[in-house]
Amino acid sequence: MFPTTIPSEIRASCRVHARLLDAFIEITRAELDRQTCTFAQESLRETLEGLRADRKAYGALAGLVAVVDNAA
């Protein structure tokens, strides 16, 4: 496989997206902790799964180290 160079503008944009996703993940986790409705809890868990996958992808493109998240 050939090494690829990611332009600095794309890396910078990915860092912004990763930072925003980190914030939204924290907001979603906090909301999940407050929920008593089973359906809402499951929905928020699914949302977190997608957000974490997106965060991993943006982090990889930006050259960021993955954040270890052991909750939920």
Higher per-residue confidence, 25 vs 72 = 25
- The structure tokens listed for 70 are 């052991």
With 70 as the cut, is the pLDDT of residue 3 above it?
A: no
51: burial class by Cβ within 10 Å (0-12, 13-18, 19+)?
middle
Q: Where are the domains of the chain?
A: 8-60
Confidence of residue 72 (pLDDT cuts 50, 70, 90): very low
The pLDDT value given to residue 64: 64
pLDDT digits (tens, 9 = 90+) for 16-63: 999 999 999 999 999 999 999 999 999 999 999 999 999 999 888 887
Dihedral, CA of residue 54, residue 42, residue 26 and residue 71, to nearest 10: -100
Q: What is the pLDDT of residue 42?
A: 98
